[in-house]
Amino acid sequence: MSRSPMIMLTALVMAVVLGGCAVPSSSPDDSQSAEGDAAAVREVVTGLDELNGPMTIESFSDRTCVNPDQPNPQTRSSWLAGLRFNTKKGAETDALIGRIDSWAKSHGFDKRKDVAGTEREVGWAKTDLSIQAVGQMNGGMEVVVRAPCRDHPESYKLYRDKLDPQYGTGGSYEDGKGSSSPSP
């Protein structure tokens, strides 16, 4: 049974955001680290884009780490990028995972998970970043790059990076001010 790419990406993002991953939570008063987190996630996104896989950026923003229905959900957030690679079949998916693995290892990431079945789920972690990939053996792969959850004051705003396809559309996100970096 095939799931739509958007449903799969949403499920992967929600699992990473709400369920956590190999990235530890940070200490209080980390608002100033948000810009560094966005830059670190951007560096991974740029590196993965250079792997010659047809990649689409589905989202790239500062996401709440708490239930969004809670008051002030922006007081704890994490930079997260959701990517989609359009591989045609399992062999292409495995080859792309191999290229991601080589890239991740050469940039100091450790492989933390590699489970294969009808899907192949692979995860890498480095200090304050994680990469989670879910590849479909019949083609297609979603990747989430995530920085740790950080605490912020109530005045903090959630940001959307210029690489996010929704950049400039408003809503509950602020856009980076004149650059691809957030403005805390």
**How far apart, in Å, are the Cα atoms of 179 and each of 23, 50, 162, 166?**
26, 21, 7, 15
Per-residue pLDDT, 126? 95
Per-residue pLDDT, 16? 42
**Is 181 domain-assigned?**
no
Looking up residue 171, the CATH number of its domain turns out to be 3.30.2030
**Is 116 domain-assigned?**
yes
Residue among 78, 77, 79, 97 at smallest CA distance from 87: 97
Using an 8 Å Cβ cutoff, are 99 and 176 in contact? no
Residues 6+ apart with CB under 8 A from 164: 57, 59, 60, 61
Per-residue pLDDT, 113? 94
**Is 52 domain-assigned?**
yes
**Is 137 domain-assigned?**
yes
Using an 8 Å Cβ cutoff, are 150 and 30 in contact? yes
Alpha-carbon 153 to chain mean position: 23
Range of the domain at 68: 27-175
Type of residue found at 53: G
**Is 115 domain-assigned?**
yes
Using an 8 Å Cβ cutoff, are 113 and 123 in contact? yes
One digit per residue, the tens of pLDDT, for the chain of length 184 reads: 344 444 444 444 434 433 343 344 444 444 457 788 999 999 999 999 998 777 999 999 998 888 777 777 778 889 999 999 998 888 888 899 999 999 999 999 999 999 988 899 999 999 889 999 999 988 899 999 999 998 888 888 888 999 999 988 877 777 663 334 443 3
The domain total for the chain is: 1
- End-to-end Cα distance, the chain: 43
**Is 4 domain-assigned?**
no
**Is 33 domain-assigned?**
yes
Per-residue pLDDT, 110? 97
